[in-house]
Structure 1
Amino acid sequence: MVYFIPTPIGNLDDISVRSLKVLAECQTLFCEDTRITKKLLSLLSQRHGIEFHIKQFISMHSHNETYLLSTIDKTIFNETVGYLSDAGMPCVSDPGSALVRFCQENTLAYEVLPGANAALLAYVSSGIQIHQFLFYGFLSHKGIERQNELFKALNAPYAVIVYESPHRIEKLIEELVQFAPQRSIFAIKEATKMHEKRFFGTPLAVKEAFKTANLKGEWVVVINPEAQEGGEAITKEDLLDLEIPPKQKAKLLSKLTGLSVKEWYTKLQN
């Protein structure tokens, strides 16, 4: 049996009794980072008085999972096997899905245990009364790709959940100030940890609050859909009014309208 085991996202007490029992039965652990997993098991062993009997730790992440699974000795799955990402639920903005597919394709029994998840915690904490939400994970780091993804998210008729690093959280809030100034947003950093901090309001209000805040730590941002505020989705006119280079503007307009980038670029030059 292959178990996909969620790990705490900050507070060690969030590990489930069932996860501890399964970990105690595992002979092999696939890990996003073996060092982090070994440290976690050491802490859990000290806190709960449990002795783990892991014979081998195998590093498996987005850069090596394809090769690893194509060359692995399948007899390893004759024993109890677990997979852990560094924090939270495997496969949710973390590696693991390739191993799920491998189990399906090779008729290996597998089970996913429920547990900690930053996106759901942030959604519940936000108080946003929308029953549908879109989990976007991390936006691209920069450039037109990031803008395209952000506009797609802002045009969704649902609450949108975005992960962001401490290095780019201010950039995200600035983008929301520019492109969605009337939205209600909720931002939480270091969820379940000692220095957890929450922010709620318009993007501009959150930007002001950031001036005196420590922004270190991992972030989750929940964005209210514009329909809830009585507004409209991003329009062609909104994009035409943006003060950005014509080439970028043409690409955005192409995404929104379906016309080619070349057609829009020609229009913008006239």
Structure 2
Amino acid sequence: MLYFVPTPIGNLLDISFRSLEILKACEVLICEDTRVSKSLINLLNSKYSCSIKPQLFLSLHSHNEEEFLKQISEDLFQKEVVCVSDAGMPAISDPGNFLIKFALENNIAFEVLPGANAALVALVSSGFCEKEFIFLGFLSNKGTSRQKDIEKLLNYPFASIVYEAPSRVLSLVQDIAKIDAQREIFAIKEISKKFETKFKNKAKKLANELEKSNLNGEWVLVISAREDANFKQNTLCEQDILELDLPLKTKSKLLSKMSGKNAKEIYSKLLLSEN
């Protein structure tokens, strides 16, 4: 049986009783970083006087997911297998999604346990959670891609949740302030840890606050929804482009930009469809 078990994001007390029971029965532990997971197991064994002793540790991270799945046998899952990330819910901005897909495609029984998740803690703490929200994880690191990500999130008609590194959190808020100085932002660092800290202010004022603050730690930001009640998100679908009175090559280029697919391949298909 395969289990996906959330681990504490700060406080060891965040581990659930059920998670402990499954970890105690674990024979194979699939983890992001074996050193981090072994340290966590030692802490849990000490705090809860339990005996978590996996026979085998396997490393699954963002750089080896495809290769990992090529090498493992389905027979492995006849044992009690647990997948964890370094902290929080597997597959949420952490490894695990490839393994979920593998299990679904190969009819491998699995369970995902509920548990600690930084994005939801931040969203509820922000007071921005009215109905809809979007989770964006980490934005692009730099360049025009990052700028486009920021412009996009500021146009959403609902709250946006973003993870950010301490080295980039200030520049992110400053970049938002350049576009919309009055946009309200909630920022929280070190969730569930001893030095958990919350900030909430308009972008320009928050940037000034952060300039004077210790930025070390793991950050989650929740950016409030666009306030323009008359704002409508414009969407353009493939059919809209196909119906335009444009040359096939132009349509192909537009469709390529939308889908990320090769423009020449799209052109060839369009050409065939017209014959």
| 1:92–1:157 Cα change, 3 Å | same
- Distance in 2, matches of 1:105 and 1:218, equals 34
User: For structure 2, which runs of at least 5 residues remain unmatched after alignment?
Assistant: 235-253, 259-275
- Distance in 1, matches of 2:129 and 2:119, equals 15
Q: Flag as ranges the 4+ runs of structure 1 deviating above 4 A.
A: 230-235
Matched, 1:18 2:21: no
Q: Which whole-Å deviations, capped at 9, do the CAs of 1:19-42 have from their partners, x for residues lacking one?
A: 000000110000011110000000
Residue in structure 2 matched with residue 267 of structure 1 by the alignment? none
- Distance in 2, matches of 1:234 and 1:182, equals 21
| 1:233–1:171 Cα change, 3 Å | farther
The one-letter code sitting in structure 2 at the alignment partner of 1:91 is: A
Matched, 1:43 2:43: yes
Residue in structure 2 matched with residue 202 of structure 1 by the alignment? 202
Matched, 1:159 2:125: no
- Distance in 2, matches of 1:109 and 1:129, equals 34
**TM-score, length-scaled by structure 2:** 0.82
Residue in structure 2 matched with residue 30 of structure 1 by the alignment? 30
Residue in structure 2 matched with residue 60 of structure 1 by the alignment? 60
Q: Which whole-Å deviations, capped at 9, do the CAs of 1:76-134 have from their partners, x for residues lacking one?
A: 11111000000000000011000001111111000000000000000011112531100
CA positional deviation for 1:154: 1.1
CA positional deviation for 1:231: 8.5
Does structure 1 conserve the Cα–Cα contact (< 8 Å) formed by 2:156 and 2:233?
A: no
Residue in structure 2 matched with residue 179 of structure 1 by the alignment? 179
Residue in structure 2 matched with residue 188 of structure 1 by the alignment? 188
- Worse-superposed segment, 160-169 or 205-214: 205-214
- Distance in 1, matches of 2:230 and 2:35, equals 48
Does structure 2 conserve the Cα–Cα contact (< 8 Å) formed by 1:154 and 1:234?
A: no
Matched, 1:113 2:113: yes
- Distance in 1, matches of 2:212 and 2:48, equals 39
- Distance in 2, matches of 1:148 and 1:233, equals 19
- Distance in 1, matches of 2:53 and 2:11, equals 24
- Local SS of the residue matching 2:227: helix
Does structure 1 conserve the Cα–Cα contact (< 8 Å) formed by 2:170 and 2:211?
A: no
Q: Which whole-Å deviations, capped at 9, do the CAs of 1:212-231 have from their partners, x for residues lacking one?
A: 21110010000111226x69
CA positional deviation for 1:56: 0.3
Q: Which whole-Å deviations, capped at 9, do the CAs of 1:211-250 have from their partners, x for residues lacking one?
A: 321110010000111226x696899xxxxxxxxxxxxxxx
Does structure 2 conserve the Cα–Cα contact (< 8 Å) formed by 1:226 and 1:233?
A: no
Written as runs of structure 1 = structure 2, the 5 A alignment for 1:87-236 is 87-227=87-227
Does structure 2 conserve the Cα–Cα contact (< 8 Å) formed by 1:27 and 1:56?
A: yes
Does structure 2 conserve the Cα–Cα contact (< 8 Å) formed by 1:155 and 1:233?
A: no
The one-letter code sitting in structure 2 at the alignment partner of 1:215 is: L
- Distance in 2, matches of 1:197 and 1:233, equals 35
- Local SS of the residue matching 1:227: coil
Residue in structure 2 matched with residue 249 of structure 1 by the alignment? none
**TM-score, length-scaled by structure 1:** 0.84
Residue in structure 2 matched with residue 81 of structure 1 by the alignment? 81
Does structure 2 conserve the Cα–Cα contact (< 8 Å) formed by 1:186 and 1:201?
A: yes
Residue in structure 2 matched with residue 244 of structure 1 by the alignment? none
- Distance in 1, matches of 2:171 and 2:147, equals 12
CA positional deviation for 1:53: 2.6
Residue in structure 1 matched with residue 270 of structure 2 by the alignment? none
The one-letter code sitting in structure 1 at the alignment partner of 2:26 is: C
Does structure 1 conserve the Cα–Cα contact (< 8 Å) formed by 2:123 and 2:129?
A: no
- Distance in 2, matches of 1:168 and 1:23, equals 35
The one-letter code sitting in structure 1 at the alignment partner of 2:65 is: E
| Alignment RMSD | 1.8
User: For structure 1, which runs of at least 5 residues remain unmatched after alignment?
Assistant: 236-253, 259-270
